[in-house]
Structure 1
Amino acid sequence: MNSAASNELKSPLEKISKEETLRLRDIHIGKNCTVFFKSSGALKIVRGEKQYLFDENNVPFLDCINNVAHVGHCHPHVVDAGHRQMQLLSTNSRYLHDNLVLYAQRLQRYFPPQLSVVYFLNSGSEANDLAMRLAKAKTGNKDVICVQGAYHGHLQSTVSISPYKFNRIKGYKQKKSVHVAPLPCSYRGKYQRSQIKDESVDIGKLYADEVGAIIENLRSNQRGLACFICESLVSCGGQFPLPQNYLKYVYQYVREAGGVCIADEVQTGFGRVGSEFWAFRLQDVVPDIVTIGKPIGNGHPIACVVTTQEIARAFEAQGAEYFNTYGGNPVSVAIANAVLDVIENENLQQHALDVGQYLIEELCKIQRRRPLIGDVRGTGLFVGIDLVKNRVTKEPASDEALYVSRRFKEEHCLVSTEGEWNNVLKLKPPMVFTKANVDTICELLDKFLEELTHPNEV
């Protein structure tokens, strides 16, 4: 791109220097509003296209972590849909508008038939907050079970069920109505596949029984269960799929106790896992409530709660109306509808399956010769690489993961870390990620692990 064309892309705010942007941010923005790669130098991003982000100097960075830009940054069909609708109408959802009902009808076709009622909101945090309100309305109870390492949003209500967050807040006291089950990780959790010699043992059931024990404790204390909430694949807790059969048994225990089962698909839905459109289908279960956000609008603020008629009626019976000013406004829904167009027309679910399988295969090849990689896991374009100092003890290689993340950035690729010890490299790229991009990432990863193995030769 020539310099004249590059300058045309810049708005007035993008013409100030990066140093000035940092100075103004330091003055006017809360200090705990963090940015990526702060320790190695924050990036100033001014443009996005497909799986690439461009800095103020028009240098491209391969984006391997932005699952929000689901169908690719600034997809022209999505941008055009929003632009056309904004030229016509942008208002709240208390007026009748075809976009709302037609999209709800279209979205529902991706779900099992019993999940037929849709509520529109602006973010995944709002969606999970509403999901808990629905569950409490249905059951009349307030106790919630979540899992260790979970993150369900930044609202006060959702932080309270997000151990990933509240365990890091100084002086925070966990609510008595919130109960935390062990993180269901078969690699480094309470029950590990490597430590169980009998391969017939169902690790999913072992972890589910931990939830069952919490429910029994509630019963013994004469407390009722409102809901169990869990991401369909664990993200912040370490980037891994749930053990087989985990949700099948958990949902059985929860329903027997009169509780509601909530699947958080905010980071995992819309075909990312490849073999299924929703990650909860990997567990062969049907939740009572599903929350979706982030990818639904390709970065535009829109989210949904999808639930059953029975639960919706219980919520309605409370008497107070539910009103969300911008939830389901015509512009947001036009954009969400365009995202579904792209997923279908560009066959992105199958693409995620094909590229994701190739990614796992190539990473496993590196794992066989690089002992720093303890585990490679995931499905579709949702992949975690667990770095360890020792494969037997599984001591987290946090410093090494930080080094690799920094080196990726230096080579114009964006990869970040996840998990309790920040030792897991996460890969959740836009769905247009290619096999050529996989080759780039794997070649660089192998190089960086070699540097860590022989630091004196770097």
Structure 2
Amino acid sequence: MLLKQCPKYYIREDTSQILSLICSPSCKVFFNHDPIKIIRARGQYMYSEKDEQYLDCINNVAHVGHSHPEVVSAGTKQMELLNTNSRFLHDNLVHYAQRLQATLPEKLSVCYFVNSGSEANDLALRLAWQHTGHKDIITLDNAYHGHVSSLIDISPYKFHQLGQTEQSQHVHVAPSPDIYRGKFREDHPDPATAYADEVRDIIEKAHAKGHKIAAFIAESLQSCGGQVIPPVGYFQKVAHHVRNVGGVFIADEVQVGFGRVGSHFWAFQLQGDDFVPDIVTMGKPIGNGHPMSCVVTTREVAESFMSSGMEYFNTFGGNPVSCAIGMAVLDVIEKEDLQGNALRVGKYLMELLEKLKEKHPLIGDTRGCGLFVGVDLVKDRLKRTPATAEAQDVIYRLKDQKILLSADGPHRNVLKFKPPMCFSREDADLAVGKIDHILTGTHSRSNSVSNSNTNTRTNKKQRT
């Protein structure tokens, strides 16, 4: 028996075993070879059932810090007073929408509140289809936009795993604008134009087959794709090509919005003041772990959506509790200068990692903005051969050192920093110091194996 039923509760004997039996076997946990049971968290720290403290470098969900007292208090107070269907009038919805709009370019003025990043991106597609009257979507290679069916279709990060499953004829995949691993690299004179021209070519080929483009969708910075930072000017050029054929530009800020990049509140703003998407989606950090999200678009797109004649409502999206929590998150970001902290600590973290790169050949590239940072591990710097096994080894050894980090990208070789925004310089020192120690050990072990192989070959030659 895995579960012993008691009068009021169940006793756990083996949580991981139970999960595999009563939850879908497709659901995976972090460190599935040796998972951790977390029972509480605060700030940038998480605590196991053994009361071990772990530094959290993974959770971009707990944006302003785990269990932030102001966020918890806001949700509790509102829940004690009222939580109800969003189709009743409530001031929280209006106040929060105004606060959110104030962080965005003026053109983006209409909010649709929903419950998750996946729901936000699905609604964004509906808006694009209705507004343009077109069907086809252009997405980026290695992109991930959510888990519902419409989004699996536009998420190569997921549908590439399906093997021989046929890609939707209405979905077109453009190269990821990755200047380290992509088609056009850092030595190209104008990678922004080169990658944008790839999108233009896709549009022309689609039109030649009678297809019409409804939208281009991109994460403002690709996370699952390997912490990819698009070259400046790329979005402007892509938007020009897409809008020329009646399509719209959707910026997915679900992972990178709300000040994470440091220099700006939204990651799409890294492209420059002259770029404004037609639709922006957000989630994860918006509620600091509370299930809420939002789609913000232009008045023109919203009116097109309304003209379909189909009523849109969302039972829980924008409910009083969610909006109270959302406002508390914005308050904390401002009061604690977390955007400024992301800028300062992110810069310091990048400096530490650059020094580490000079020391360890296993590091091929470091890249990032604010507290969104990637470390690309390679077996060979010239060939840029992904060091997948080594990356997995690093994250498991870090876990043993009570630091939680993940590895992702198409080759699972990119170490990803996306911690809570209260992450400090001391935290950066600790994490990078541990990585330095692990990589030093990895290098020593590699040399030991290499020398052992050399000695073996020499001994064989002597015996012959």
TM-score after normalising by structure 1: 0.94
Cα distance in 2, alignment partners of residues 319 and 328 from structure 1: 22
What is aligned with 2:357? 367
One-letter code aligned to 2:420: P
What is aligned with 2:254? 266
1:292-322, Cα deviation, whole Å (9 max, x unpaired)? 0000000000000000000000000001111
| Structure 1 segments (4+ residues) deviating >4 Å | none
Cα distance in 1, alignment partners of residues 218 and 232 from structure 2: 14
Cα distance in 1, alignment partners of residues 83 and 50 from structure 2: 34
Cα distance in 1, alignment partners of residues 16 and 359 from structure 2: 41
Name the SS for the 1:304 alignment partner.
Answer: strand
Cα distance in 1, alignment partners of residues 179 and 263 from structure 2: 21
Cα distance in 1, alignment partners of residues 143 and 63 from structure 2: 22
What is aligned with 1:7? none
What is aligned with 1:402? 392
In structure 2, the gaps of 5 or more residues are 1-7, 450-464
Displacement of 1:26: 2.0
Displacement of 1:249: 0.5
> Which of 14, 26, 30 is the equivalent residue of 1:20?
14
Q: Does 1:35 align with 2:29?
A: yes
Displacement of 1:220: 1.6
Q: Does 1:190 align with 2:183?
A: yes
What is aligned with 2:462? none
What is aligned with 1:9? none
Cα distance in 2, alignment partners of residues 142 and 303 from structure 1: 24
One-letter code aligned to 2:422: V
What is aligned with 2:417? 427
5 Å matches for 1:15-414?
A: 16-17=11-12, 19-39=13-33, 41-194=34-187, 196=188, 201-284=189-272, 285-414=275-404
Cα distance in 1, alignment partners of residues 253 and 237 from structure 2: 19
Q: Which has the larger radius of gyration?
A: 2
Cα distance in 2, alignment partners of residues 429 and 20 from structure 1: 29
1:340-374, Cα deviation, whole Å (9 max, x unpaired)? 00001001101100000000001000001111000
One-letter code aligned to 2:413: N
Cα distance in 1, alignment partners of residues 170 and 298 from structure 2: 24
Displacement of 1:324: 1.0
One-letter code aligned to 2:31: F
Name the SS for the 2:139 alignment partner.
Answer: strand
Cα distance in 1, alignment partners of residues 345 and 177 from structure 2: 26
1:324-346, Cα deviation, whole Å (9 max, x unpaired)? 11111111111011000000100
Quote the RMSD (CA, aligned, Å): 1.3
Name the SS for the 1:356 alignment partner.
Answer: helix
Name the SS for the 1:118 alignment partner.
Answer: strand
Alignment coverage as a number of residue pairs: 439
Name the SS for the 1:193 alignment partner.
Answer: coil
Cα distance in 2, alignment partners of residues 281 and 323 from structure 1: 30
Displacement of 1:20: 2.2
333-342 vs 217-226, greater mean Cα deviation? 217-226
Displacement of 1:241: 1.0
Cα distance in 1, alignment partners of residues 439 and 302 from structure 2: 52
Name the SS for the 2:137 alignment partner.
Answer: strand
- Retained in 2: the 8 A contact 1:240–1:383? no
In structure 1, the gaps of 5 or more residues are 1-11
Displacement of 1:172: 2.2
1:413-445, Cα deviation, whole Å (9 max, x unpaired)? 000101011000000000000000000011111
- Retained in 1: the 8 A contact 2:177–2:228? no
1:356-412, Cα deviation, whole Å (9 max, x unpaired)? 000000100000111100000000000000000000000000010001000100000
Cα distance in 2, alignment partners of residues 118 and 26 from structure 1: 39
Cα distance in 2, alignment partners of residues 447 and 98 from structure 1: 53
One-letter code aligned to 1:34: K
Name the SS for the 1:82 alignment partner.
Answer: helix
Displacement of 1:170: 4.1
Name the SS for the 2:177 alignment partner.
Answer: coil
One-letter code aligned to 1:208: A
Q: Does 1:450 align with 2:443?
A: no
Q: Does 1:440 align with 2:441?
A: no
Cα distance in 1, alignment partners of residues 213 and 353 from structure 2: 41
1:6-64, Cα deviation, whole Å (9 max, x unpaired)? xxxxxx97x945x522232122100010000012x011011010001111111110000
TM-score after normalising by structure 2: 0.93
Cα distance in 1, alignment partners of residues 397 and 206 from structure 2: 48
Displacement of 1:96: 0.4
- Retained in 2: the 8 A contact 1:415–1:427? yes
